[in-house]
Amino acid sequence: MSTVLVVYGTKTGCTGGIAEKIGDALTAAGAAVSVKPAGEKPDPAGYDAIVVGSGVRAGSWHGFVKEWVASNADALKAKPVAFFTACLTMAVEPEKADEVHAYTDALIEATGVEPLEVGLFAGMNEPKRFGLPERLIMKAMKAPQGDFRDLEAVAEWARAVAPRLGIVESAR
């Protein structure tokens, strides 16, 4: 059985929910999965494959997730890896997918970690989850409010990437 570590960074819980859905889908595909926040600094050494994701703040992945990828770059380069990005832009302007992908491209360039796949998912804007400065910025941007995550699309992406991560569908 393949073992997979799903590492994520979130400030509001949005990306954590996406990471959990990815973990559920990979478990259903036959892997033993651990879902951990990057802030816990999980060790990737004991896993066959890694999935790493982050929400976007100010046009960048969360700093602590970027630090985790950079500090584990050698281990990640030796395993199948997939990245995912959660961003409100995917909900309101899906035609800007290249722009959202660029947030991940910067990390790839900085660390040399080449993922097999990059998932781009809509995020959420639930003001009660943000601090005052972020609420003011979102209001000034006229960002729509709501949870725009499509968790079935997340699960579908995870099922599609599973074979590339070395996960073989278990017989049931």
Are 62 and 54 contacting, i.e. CB atoms less than 8 angstroms apart? yes
**Mean pLDDT across the chain, nearest whole number?**
88
Domains of the chain: 3-165 (3.40.50.360)
pLDDT band at 168 (very low <50, low <70, confident <90, very high): confident
Q: What pLDDT does 111 receive? A: 97
State how far the Cα of 16 lies from the Cα of 35, in Å rounded to an integer. 9
Q: What pLDDT does 171 receive? A: 43
User: How many Cβ atoms are within 10 Å of 27's Cβ, its own excluded?
Assistant: 16
pLDDT band at 88 (very low <50, low <70, confident <90, very high): confident
Q: What is the pTM of this model?
A: 0.87
Q: 120-137, pLDDT tens digit by residue?
A: 998 876 656 666 566 555
State how far the Cα of 154 lies from the Cα of 164, in Å rounded to an integer. 16
